[in-house]
Amino acid sequence: MQFQGIYFDGVTSLGKPAQLTADTHFIRLSWSDNERVVELNAIQVEAALGSLSRKVLWGADDYFVSDDQAQLDALAKLSGSGGMPYWLARLESNFGGVALAAVITLASLVFFALYGIPRMTAAIAHQLPWAVSAQMAQSTLTNLSPLLQQSELTEVRKQQLRSYFSEHERADAPAVDVHFRQAGAFVGANALTLSGTTVVFTDAIVELLQDDQQLLAVFLHELGHARMRHVEQTVLQSAGWAVFLTFITGDIGGVGELVLTLPFAVGQSAYSREFERQADAFAVAELRRLGIDPEVFAQALERLELSRNSVADSAASATEQDEDINKVHRKLLEYLASHPITADRIAAVRGVPSP
């Protein structure tokens, strides 16, 4: 075997054009009127990286460089050079390997987004001390204070609701704190779970749902979120994903992050819909246990949906929205919505078979 390259003596930086000849035991380098002989089993041929030229080294200061990839590969085989870099180079140069890498990348991203990270964070969230959840709710309340003003409900009414809720609360964990707040129009009639320890009702929802049993049903839905530590899970998920991404994206480059964040965004919204379903199921089960017809929950959802639509109507002419939503649009909406479409939730509540 014989091929051309450049010989560097390790002292001066300028290389000399040289020729490498290999037989079964030795390689011989010859340039101008000089030559150097090295034992074949002492040499190490650098693995390929793209089509960059590669060094032939033998543990001394001098070395030989060539870009004759085919000959270098043959020499590597002859001298027994190998290891991980060779394995990588083979993977990179093989079309099947590259295609497989692309497919596995996509599949593992989807897997991490939909199973890996949610599973891990769920396990951690359930172990989180209640004090941490309380602290978390406190800082959320402080952050939201510009949006949530002091409630205008009477102390009597608040107290009455609090004790009514706590009478019906499962005692398998510390009782949740119920706060009442006056909120802006875009929050509207709503109840929010801040963490495993804290739930907020807006004045608007208390006024909208005059039947206390309906309010209890909403409370039980929020209690489901709280007991299952859904908020903690969501927080841990985005934190976990951010950390995971930082680890990876150092080398992917700015816009490449797009590929990596997309599955998470989709997975996240699918997951939060799953949280809503779980909380609905929890509410229905609790209502049953308490001997209350789950129909009150369905009615509460209907009323909330109605009030939300009327807000939307006044904001824009969105009436035709509901009628125009054909199957495709509906699927898309369902896919992207973080809350399941209420009609489906109501149907699900009503459709839960009685035990």
Residues in contact with other proteins by CB under 8 A are: 8, 10-14, 49-53, 61, 88, 91-93, 97-98, 100-102, 104-105, 108-109, 112, 132, 135-136, 139, 142-143, 235-236, 239, 242-244, 246-248, 250-253, 255-260, 262
Quick one: 41 or 139, whose CB is closer to other proteins?
139
| Rounded distance between C-alpha atoms, residue 349 and residue 355, angstroms | 14
Q: What pairing do the DSSP bridges indicate for beta strands 177-183 and 198-202?
A: parallel
Quick one: 92 or 274, whose CB is closer to other proteins?
92
Size (the chain), residues: 355
Query: Are 185 and 311 within 8 A, CB to CB?
Result: yes
Nearest distance from residue 239's CB to other proteins, in Å? 4
Nearest distance from residue 320's CB to other proteins, in Å? 17
Nearest distance from residue 49's CB to other proteins, in Å? 6
Quick one: 113 or 204, whose CB is closer to other proteins?
113
| Rounded distance between C-alpha atoms, residue 221 and residue 150, angstroms | 24
Quick one: 171 or 243, whose CB is closer to other proteins?
243
Nearest distance from residue 51's CB to other proteins, in Å? 6
Nearest distance from residue 60's CB to other proteins, in Å? 13
Nearest distance from residue 251's CB to other proteins, in Å? 5
- Listed in sequence order, the residues at least 6 apart from 51 whose beta carbon sits closer than 8 Å to its beta carbon are 67, 69
Quick one: 26 or 58, whose CB is closer to other proteins?
58
Quick one: 232 or 276, whose CB is closer to other proteins?
232
Query: Are 202 and 194 within 8 A, CB to CB?
Result: no
Measured from the Cβ of residue 77, the count of other Cβ atoms closer than 10 Å reads: 12
Q: Residue 115 carries which DSSP code?
A: I
Measured from the Cβ of residue 36, the count of other Cβ atoms closer than 10 Å reads: 17
CA angle in degrees (0–180, nearest 5) for 16-19-24: 140
Nearest distance from residue 261's CB to other proteins, in Å? 9
**Tokens at residue 297, please?**
């929950």
What's CA 91's distance to the chain center, in Å? 28
Q: Collapse the DSSP code of 322 into the 3-class scheme (helix H, G, I; strand E, B; otherwise coil) and give the result.
A: helix
What's CA 17's distance to the chain center, in Å? 54
Quick one: 123 or 248, whose CB is closer to other proteins?
248
18, 86, 5, 78: which is closest to 46 by C-alpha? 86
46: left (phi over 0), alpha (psi -120 to 50) or beta: beta
Nearest distance from residue 345's CB to other proteins, in Å? 28
Quick one: 14 or 185, whose CB is closer to other proteins?
14
Q: Residue 81 carries which DSSP code?
A: -
